[in-house]
Structure 1
């Protein structure tokens, strides 16, 4: 047998460079590049290997380990999960900084390969720097914190153990029903150890990304349910995008007239101007979609995991006889809400469902009804985007309105946390299948800037917008430096409202009186109700190397966003938004969300909030 002598780290890098995915006849590299921050756990292992094999594996320099994972996730999502990035870190804080990003990847079913360094497998010195000592278990390290947030985890304690571990890692990354964060913990001594590897280990491997078809019985039963329904509603989730099933969904909607609502991950499954598109659904949804959901007698979930925002904490689907039909590639999600399952790839399942439903269409009165509701909501969106004067600070909704007038179907808009996801889900007019990129499975503050870099790497030449509030910006602005270093012309929009506006609003609604949510000086009574802090986020972005455009008024904003869109360098547009009592913003929530309120309290705000909570929670039901 022919062998090749390499270190474990060198062998892993060469192996990763020769892995491919294939779907629908198209082949792509499974691991497109490796992000890395080096320390004593990986500098002499993976670091040295990336230098030695730089012609085979591109390297990307990051500034924060969590942010590197976010960038990798943005790249994977934009690549339809067919290509991913690896992330390497040292042992210790570098490794534990991966946990948040890993959770985000796994919750959103997006592939990322994590390669944290680990303590010595041979234990020549014990403990070593940054080692966690667990008195009752000598084989535990800080990397074990990654186990619950990884879809596959292995610790490679011998060079030869890399072979099965690496193959298992690739299998999970390329499996649409099992993908997420994959962790291979690499003890630093093992990384540097040489071994005679079989040449077969380095042969090109193509991992076929399957499109399983639905079971005939499940398909026939699904067709019966749809034909019997008078008020069916499709809920499109992220699986529609991951499967590239948008055309199949559109064909089904065209054939049957069934309206399509979307989760945060599924928005854009139909363009906003398609007659059957009724917008976002759930707590942050449109009045149109939520009104239809309340009266739907059949809810057809496609690639959705039914989070509490989508179901309005199990209060939205109010018809006493409502039934559920769930098309999902995972049986776990397909069976949620006591649904009839249709376990299949989203595109294949939709195509088969359209085939067996050929000739079936909902009653014309139903189409007329949701068409009228859609038209009414569009007028509310237009009103939220409008401004009586150009010389005033914009509301957050008006910022979106200006951006709405500038973008084309080439633009990609990224957000994850704060009040923006709610406004975007309700108001944004999505023009293309991948324009709307809101990470709301984990809703992780600090995701947007690094994710924009990952998306731009996967979609070169397209305008990529990262929309952030001041709270999110302060969490994780470090990858601005990476964008500047690599001259990736992302467009950053910072909305300054001096605090956690989203949580402030939630706090007020549950009787907590916006406690601890404003970025203000402390007053003598101990509350943070003084003057706003003199924080200049625009200056901060400029100090990190970005070109910065300040927009004081709506007129300024219009000019700045237009300038940023065509800029060839990383550009930031900074604006202070108007408060809600100055001009109107987005419409309020159209459905409830369960955030428990204190059952006993002395302050009036909390007492009233509990009364409202008890009224709302009474509508919750278990779908059995």
Structure 2
């Protein structure tokens, strides 16, 4: 057998460069490149291998380990999981910085390959710089925390172990149901050890993502369950987009006159102005969708994992007779809510269920004009929200209205945390698929700027806008510099409302007077953070990094800044001053958060009783 003598790191890169994925007969090179930050744990291993590699792998220099993994995650998400980046770091703090981003990828079912450096496998020297010394188990390192947030985890302590580990990693990374973060911990000495690898290990490999059809018996059960159901509601999740099933969703909904509500991940599955699109569902949902959910006698969930935001903490579906049909490639998700499980590809599942329903002449029984009236009512509400004026300045929803009318319908908006996701889920009018890029599985603050860079890498021909609150921007904005370095323009729309106002609103909505969530100076008299707002010049900060920047405090200034930003050729930030607390809320939604039974505040005790009443009305399973 012919062999090639390579270091483990060299072999890993050569292997990754030869991996392809095939979906619907279209072959795509799977690993686009490597994002990395070098330290003593990887610079002379993977770092040297990247420097000398003769491959098509693109190396991108990260600025923060968490940020670069968010960028890689967003790249894979925007690429419909058909292409990925690997991420490499040193040991210790560099590796641990990736844990939060690894969880973000795994929760959202997005593939990302993590290659953190690790302690010396030889244990010489011992302890190495940045090594944990767990006295009860000396095999534990800073990379063990990745086990909890990875779909596959391995530590390569001998160079030949790479072969089985790499193949297992590819199995998970290309699995549409069980994908997420994959972590291969790489001891720094083993990275540099050589081995005679068989040439066959480096042959081109094509990983075929086959569309799995629904089982015949499962289809019969689902069709039987739907018989006699008069008020069905579709919940379109992210699986609709990942399966490229937007056309099948449209045809299915139209054929049986079923309204479609969307999760955060599923938004843009149908154009906002489609007659059957009733908008977001759940805690951040529209009045139209939540009213329909309350009375629905059957929910058809497509590619959704039914998070508590989608189900309004299990209170959204109030009809005691409601049942569920779940189309999902993951058996874990299709079995939820004791539903009729169609564990299959969304595209094939919708086609097959449609054929079964046609055979029994099924059609919903909504009254003539009922869905149209609800949709018209909600559209009027959005128009109102887009034009709300406030004596203290620009409202958040007014700002969103200006942005909506100014940017192009094909532009991509990226968001993740704070009050913006709720407003965007309710009011943003997505026309084209994959223009609404929301990370809300983990709602990870700091994803926005990094994610926008990743989306821009995936689709450089589209404009990409990061919508981010000031609190989230302060947590993580490092990959703004990487976007400048790589010449991939993003536009950062920074909503400055002086703090963590989303949680401030949640706090006050449950009896609190407000504590610790606004960016205020500490008052000496009270010892609390109740002084004036801290004046932070975000535009000046962006300029200091090399970006273009503008400020806007009125609707007219915002529109002008957006038009100017369009003309810029490099990353641009617009600092938008908005009045705190001018986001949306309500609309027949509820979110269960723990409210204390015992408190010195009467308002808190009252909120606790209200919570108990809502819990009693919600479903228990």
* Alpha-carbon shift at residue 544 of structure 1 (Å): 1.2
* Alpha-carbon shift at residue 567 of structure 1 (Å): 2.5
SS at match of 2:477: coil
* Alpha-carbon shift at residue 357 of structure 1 (Å): 1.9
* Alpha-carbon shift at residue 298 of structure 1 (Å): 0.3
Is residue 2:429 matched to residue 1:429? Answer: yes
SS at match of 1:605: helix
Is residue 2:158 matched to residue 1:158? Answer: yes
Report if aligned partners of 1:503, 1:514 keep a CA contact under 8 Å in 2: no
Partner of 2:615: 617
List per-residue Cα deviations over 1:423-467 (Å, max 9, x = no partner).
Answer: 001101111110111110000000010111111111012000000
Is residue 2:30 matched to residue 1:30? Answer: yes
Is residue 2:529 matched to residue 1:531? Answer: no
* Alpha-carbon shift at residue 573 of structure 1 (Å): 0.9
Judged with a 3 Å threshold, the aligned counterparts in structure 2 of structure 1 residues 161 and 497 are, in CA distance, closer, same or farther, namely same
Cα distance between partner residues in 2 of 1:381 and 1:303: 27
SS at match of 2:358: coil
Cα distance between partner residues in 2 of 1:17 and 1:365: 54
Judged with a 3 Å threshold, the aligned counterparts in structure 2 of structure 1 residues 363 and 332 are, in CA distance, closer, same or farther, namely closer
Cα distance between partner residues in 2 of 1:94 and 1:606: 42
SS at match of 2:373: helix
Is residue 2:570 matched to residue 1:572? Answer: no
List per-residue Cα deviations over 1:186-224 (Å, max 9, x = no partner).
Answer: 000000011111100110000001210000011122122
Partner of 1:40: 40
Partner of 1:550: 551
* Alpha-carbon shift at residue 578 of structure 1 (Å): 2.3
Judged with a 3 Å threshold, the aligned counterparts in structure 2 of structure 1 residues 274 and 9 are, in CA distance, closer, same or farther, namely same
Cα distance between partner residues in 2 of 1:143 and 1:174: 23
List per-residue Cα deviations over 1:587-613 (Å, max 9, x = no partner).
Answer: 535311000100011112212211221
Cα distance between partner residues in 2 of 1:387 and 1:595: 29
Report if aligned partners of 1:384, 1:585 keep a CA contact under 8 Å in 2: no
Cα distance between partner residues in 2 of 1:361 and 1:277: 20
Where in structure 2 are the equivalents of 1:279-428 lying within 5 Å?
Answer: 279-358=279-358, 360-363=361-364, 365-366=366-367, 368-387=369-388, 393-428=393-428
* Alpha-carbon shift at residue 388 of structure 1 (Å): 5.5
Cα distance between partner residues in 1 of 2:245 and 2:566: 29
Cα distance between partner residues in 1 of 2:351 and 2:61: 42
Partner of 2:193: 193
Cα distance between partner residues in 1 of 2:62 and 2:164: 29
* Alpha-carbon shift at residue 534 of structure 1 (Å): 2.1
Superposition TM-score, scaled by structure 1 size: 0.97
Report if aligned partners of 2:416, 2:445 keep a CA contact under 8 Å in 1: yes
Partner of 2:252: 252
Runs (4+) off by over 4 Å: none
Partner of 2:507: 507
SS at match of 2:143: helix
Report if aligned partners of 2:283, 2:312 keep a CA contact under 8 Å in 1: yes
Cα distance between partner residues in 2 of 1:589 and 1:184: 45
Is residue 2:447 matched to residue 1:461? Answer: no
Q: Which runs of 5+ in 1 are unaligned?
A: none
Where in structure 2 are the equivalents of 1:194-209 lying within 5 Å?
Answer: 194-209=194-209
Cα distance between partner residues in 2 of 1:380 and 1:533: 34
* Count of aligned residue pairs for this structure pair: 619
Cα distance between partner residues in 2 of 1:480 and 1:309: 30
* Greater mean deviation of Cα atoms: 428-437 or 508-517: 508-517
List per-residue Cα deviations over 1:124-183 (Å, max 9, x = no partner).
Answer: 121111111111212111100000100000000001000000000001000101100000
* Alpha-carbon shift at residue 543 of structure 1 (Å): 1.0
Report if aligned partners of 1:327, 1:341 keep a CA contact under 8 Å in 2: yes
* Alpha-carbon shift at residue 585 of structure 1 (Å): 4.6
Report if aligned partners of 1:114, 1:181 keep a CA contact under 8 Å in 2: yes
* Alpha-carbon shift at residue 407 of structure 1 (Å): 2.9
Cα distance between partner residues in 1 of 2:255 and 2:228: 16
List per-residue Cα deviations over 1:528-558 (Å, max 9, x = no partner).
Answer: 1211012211111111111001112110101
List per-residue Cα deviations over 1:321-352 (Å, max 9, x = no partner).
Answer: 11011111111111111111010011111111
Report if aligned partners of 1:37, 1:63 keep a CA contact under 8 Å in 2: yes
Partner of 1:143: 143
Cα distance between partner residues in 1 of 2:369 and 2:310: 25
* Greater mean deviation of Cα atoms: 584-593 or 19-28: 584-593
* Alpha-carbon shift at residue 367 of structure 1 (Å): 5.5
Report if aligned partners of 2:413, 2:466 keep a CA contact under 8 Å in 1: yes
Cα distance between partner residues in 2 of 1:33 and 1:607: 54
Cα distance between partner residues in 1 of 2:572 and 2:368: 44
List per-residue Cα deviations over 1:46-72 (Å, max 9, x = no partner).
Answer: 101111115431100110000011000
Partner of 1:87: 87
Cα distance between partner residues in 2 of 1:263 and 1:365: 22
Partner of 1:13: 13
SS at match of 1:6: strand
Report if aligned partners of 2:37, 2:63 keep a CA contact under 8 Å in 1: yes
Report if aligned partners of 2:17, 2:55 keep a CA contact under 8 Å in 1: no
Judged with a 3 Å threshold, the aligned counterparts in structure 2 of structure 1 residues 598 and 387 are, in CA distance, closer, same or farther, namely closer
Partner of 1:607: 605
Judged with a 3 Å threshold, the aligned counterparts in structure 2 of structure 1 residues 165 and 384 are, in CA distance, closer, same or farther, namely same
List per-residue Cα deviations over 1:399-439 (Å, max 9, x = no partner).
Answer: 11011112333100000000000000110111111011111
* Alpha-carbon shift at residue 302 of structure 1 (Å): 0.5
Partner of 1:107: 107
* Greater mean deviation of Cα atoms: 595-604 or 37-46: 595-604
* Greater mean deviation of Cα atoms: 303-312 or 352-361: 352-361
* Alpha-carbon shift at residue 44 of structure 1 (Å): 0.4
Q: CA RMSD in A?
A: 1.4
Cα distance between partner residues in 1 of 2:366 and 2:259: 13
Report if aligned partners of 1:284, 1:590 keep a CA contact under 8 Å in 2: no
List per-residue Cα deviations over 1:503-533 (Å, max 9, x = no partner).
Answer: 0000111223221001001122122121101
Cα distance between partner residues in 1 of 2:585 and 2:594: 23
